[in-house]
Amino acid sequence: MSGSSSPLVVQVRGLRKSFGANRVLDGIDLDVHKGEVVVVIGPSGSGKTTLLRCINLLETYDEGSIQVDGVEVGFRDGPGGARQPRGDRELSRIRADIGMVFQLFNLFPHLTARENVMLGLRKVRGLSAAEAKRIAEHWLTRVGLADKLDSLPSQLSGGQQQRVGIARAVAMDPKVLLLDEITSALDPELVGEVLTAVQELAQDGMTMIVVTHEMTFARDVSTRIVFMDGGRIQVEGTPRAVLSTTNHERLKAFLARIELTLH
Amino acid sequence: MLYAIHSLPFLWEGLLITLEVSALVIFFSLIAGVILGVGIVYGPRWLYWPIRIYSDFLRGIPLLVLIFFLYYALPFVSINLTNIAAVVLALSAFETAHIIEVVRGAIQSIPRGQNEAAKTIGLQFGQRLLYVIAPQAVRRFLPPWINAVVDTVKGSALVSLVGIVDLMLAIQQVIGRTYIPMPLYVLGAVMYFVINYSLSSASRALEARFAYIRE
Amino acid sequence: MTYHLNFDFVWRHFDKLGWGLVLSLELALISILIGMAIGLSLALAYTGGGRFIRSIVAGYVEFIRNVPLLLLVYLVFYGVPSVGGFAYEANASFVMTLAVYAGATMVEVFRAGLAAVPGGLIDAGKAIGLTGWQRLIWVRLPTMFRIVLPSLSNAYVSLFKDTSLASVIAVPELTYGAQWINTNSFRVIEVWSVVAPMYLVTGYGLLFLLQRLERRFVVH
């Protein structure tokens, strides 16, 4: 596993964001190095999903900086040193290198599993049909869906759809993968297959930021756990340290509630 | 009853006019409706209100009022259209307003997550529209649009009231000569029914076929 | 050729427009009430009935929905008396036609509304021992009405606009009044620029009021 000696992939500094009068992110600093699996936990409304969505600019941010691979995601340097928001074309190029898997899958319903994965490869990476097909089939096989290549999303179970979502994101060869509560909408018996797929990706060295409630996954797969509450990072550390905390009250209360609902 | 059979050629002529008027209206309203509908969803702010007002205004008055108004008022402002042109204009303006709403509904009913997922794999705005939004919008657009087509055919019957010899007026004229209203009305109803029912069946079939698009 | 706007004739005969508007609203109201009665009975028959009943109801709905309202108006006013040997006056004829027309829409509205009643509510009714009829009256219908209120509002405003067709059989509603003024003064632009807003304001005004009323009852 990698630690702070490997290159910095994502660097967040002083991130602030409000929705109207609601301050959702209140000064976030976060470093993610290559190969790390950072799991973000916290109560709803703590800003975890917003943080993730700011990293690939699905949400804009008000203050602070987010750099992926050294590039400021939301802004570029304008004349006189001021920062200007990036336009759609620049953002698209940046987003191509950041992968995201959604809670509600968001597969394209009019395309088969294979076509869902091929779309980005063809239109964004500019690959030939044959090459895109090869890569798509490779990744769909990796997540265990070799026999579902021609299926439409409506013909797949939730767990299968989510694995297609993972393949779609990973096939683009992203520098970092953002996973937004990807098992929260799944029936319990389907969660395992998805987490297994993610675990294998982690073992192969994929850099990930994961928002989840699955504590077992957090404990076993993450390199670092971050606890957010009220728009700030309250606790950060190794899985063992965070999950068995004794002195942070809010974290202890949160973990207790999670344990209660899980058992 | 024999009269009814003899009058069939005359009714046929009327039917052709009905179909011609309907076809023209469908053609114009489809083009205008789609352009304005896309414009109201993706266009700049200053485009939104004029299109919105147009759509709400035209859907808020009866079609008959619109036909009468354009048919009688246009000559007063020195716009002299043929009879057919005037009613086609009125019907097209009316249908366009409805199609704008159909287009708007089709696009806005696509879940936000689709656009987000498309952004996430790096597609640009035009690519998102072309590969992700449009395919889903078209599938949601077709069934309600066919309903609008059926409404157009039914609405075309109103042109009989300004003297255009469509199927409706042809029926009236034959009744005027033969004094047997009921069989002719029933015959006319059957003719309209056959046209429109085939269209609505097609719409239902499409809706069933594309059900997979709506999660 | 210049055209000078002159609203005198319109204002002098505004009573035809004003009372015409009132008549339009009345015609629409009576039609929707009768239409709701027709629609509800047929929807219940459809939901509870066998294949035969369902095809009759479907036949009625499909026929009415695919034929122009204008043709139906003529058929009822001119056609039926010639076969039945009786005659009726224009207002009654139009209301019957519009009620039957409204009924077809109402069948679909109520059928969908009944289907949308959450199964859990019906189960709760069963659990406390209500019979089928009791569940219908105390659980399903009240819930259904709250669900369909928006559709009913839209239907009423739609029917209000459809009353303009009554003018073709000389029912003195709003469009007929406008045509009268038109024929007797040729003040085409003036009369329609008064009548079109009358329809608009009344239609959207009704929709607004009905939506305010809905808020007290609608189930979300």
Distance CA A168, CA A171 (A): 5
The residues pairing with A100 across neighbouring beta strands, listed in sequence order, are A178
Distance CA B114, CA B136 (A): 10
Q: Could you tell me if residue C74 is inside a domain?
A: yes
Contact A168 B121 (CB under 8 A): yes
> What pLDDT is attached to residue C151?
92
pLDDT band at C107 (very low <50, low <70, confident <90, very high): very high
Q: Which domain holds residue B19?
A: 2-213
Q: Could you tell me if residue C114 is inside a domain?
A: yes
* Residue in B69, B175, B100 with CA at minimum distance from that of residue C164: B69
For an interface test with B, which of A56, A95, A161, A176 has the most B Cβ atoms less than 10 Å from its Cβ? A95
Distance CA C128, CA C105 (A): 34
Q: Is B64 an interface residue toward C (CB < 8 Å)?
A: yes
> What pLDDT is attached to residue B3?
65
Structural contact between residues A212 and A4, judged by C-beta atoms closer than 8 angstroms: no
The total of structural domains in chain B comes to 1
Does chain B touch chain C (at least 3 C-beta pairs within 8 Å)? yes
> What pLDDT is attached to residue B169?
95
Q: Could you tell me if residue C219 is inside a domain?
A: no
Q: Is A177 an interface residue toward B (CB < 8 Å)?
A: no
> What pLDDT is attached to residue A263?
47
From A89, A96, A119, residue closest to B131, measured CB to CB = A119
DSSP helix/strand/coil, B122:
coil
Q: How far is B57 from chain A (nearest CA, A)?
A: 34
Structural contact between residues B174 and B184, judged by C-beta atoms closer than 8 angstroms: yes
> What pLDDT is attached to residue C163?
96
For residue range B138-192, list pLDDT tens digits in order.
999 999 999 999 999 999 999 999 999 999 999 999 998 888 899 899 999 999 9
Looking at every residue in chain B, the average pLDDT score rounds to 92
Q: What is the CATH number of the domain that holds B197?
A: 1.10.3720.10
Contact C175 B186 (CB under 8 A): no
In order along its 263 residues, chain A shows pLDDT tens digits of 445 578 999 999 999 999 999 999 999 999 999 999 999 999 988 899 999 999 999 999 999 999 999 999 988 887 777 788 999 999 999 999 999 999 999 999 999 999 999 999 999 999 999 999 999 999 999 999 999 999 999 999 999 999 999 999 999 999 999 999 999 999 999 999 999 999 999 999 999 999 998 888 888 899 999 999 999 999 999 998 898 877 888 898 898 888 766 54
Q: How far is B93 from chain C (nearest CA, A)?
A: 15
Phi-psi region of A209 (alpha: psi -120 to 50; beta: other; left: phi over 0): beta
Q: What angle do CA B161, B166, B170 make, to 5 degrees?
A: 90
Distance CA A234, CA A250 (A): 9
Distance CA C25, CA C29 (A): 6
Q: What is the pTM of this model?
A: 0.86
Q: Which domain holds residue C60?
A: 8-214
Phi-psi region of A64 (alpha: psi -120 to 50; beta: other; left: phi over 0): left
Distance CA C72, CA C79 (A): 9
> What pLDDT is attached to residue A1?
45
Helix ranges (H only) for A29-172 are 48-55, 88-96, 113-123, 129-142, 158-170
For an interface test with A, which of B120, B130, B138 has the most A Cβ atoms less than 10 Å from its Cβ? B120
Structural contact between residues B136 and B103, judged by C-beta atoms closer than 8 angstroms: no
> What pLDDT is attached to residue C218?
62
Quick count: other Cβ atoms within 10 Å of Cβ A106? 25
| Mean pLDDT, residues C98-113 taken together | 95
Q: Could you tell me if residue C1 is inside a domain?
A: no
> What pLDDT is attached to residue A80?
75
* Residue in A256, A222, A253 with CA at minimum distance from that of residue A239: A222
Distance CA B10, CA A77 (A): 75
C→B interface, C-beta within 8 Å: 1, 3, 62-63, 65-72, 74-75, 78-80, 82-83, 161-162, 164-165, 167-168, 175, 178-179, 182, 188-189, 192, 195-196, 199-200, 203-204
> What pLDDT is attached to residue B148?
95
User: In chain B, which residue's Cα lies nearest the Cα of A174?
Assistant: B121
For residue range C9-56, list pLDDT tens digits in order.
888 889 999 999 999 999 999 999 999 999 999 999 998 888 999 999
Contacts 24+ apart (CB under 8 A), A78-85: A85/A60
Quick count: other Cβ atoms within 10 Å of Cβ B33? 25
For residue range C48-100, list pLDDT tens digits in order.
888 999 999 999 999 999 999 999 999 999 988 888 777 788 999 999 999 99
Q: Could you tell me if residue C3 is inside a domain?
A: no
Which 81-110 residues of chain B touch chain A by CB within 8 A?
Answer: none
Residue A226 backbone phi and psi in degrees, to 5: -120, 130
Q: Could you tell me if residue C2 is inside a domain?
A: no
Structural contact between residues B153 and B81, judged by C-beta atoms closer than 8 angstroms: no
pLDDT band at C158 (very low <50, low <70, confident <90, very high): very high
The total of structural domains in chain C comes to 1
Q: Could you tell me if residue C220 is inside a domain?
A: no
Q: Could you tell me if residue C44 is inside a domain?
A: yes
Amino acid making up residue A78: G
For residue range C193-217, list pLDDT tens digits in order.
999 999 999 999 999 999 888 887 7
This complex has an ipTM of 0.91
Residue carrying the six token digits 């157009």 = B152
Structural contact between residues C147 and C113, judged by C-beta atoms closer than 8 angstroms: yes
Q: How far is C75 from chain B (nearest CA, A)?
A: 6
Neighbours of B, requiring at least 3 CB pairs below 8 Å, are: A, C
Rounded to a whole number of angstroms, the CA Rg of chain C reads: 21
Q: What is the CATH number of the domain that holds C160?
A: 1.10.3720.10
Neighbours of A, requiring at least 3 CB pairs below 8 Å, are: B
Distance CA A217, CA B53 (A): 54
Contact B65 C162 (CB under 8 A): no
Amino acid making up residue C171: V
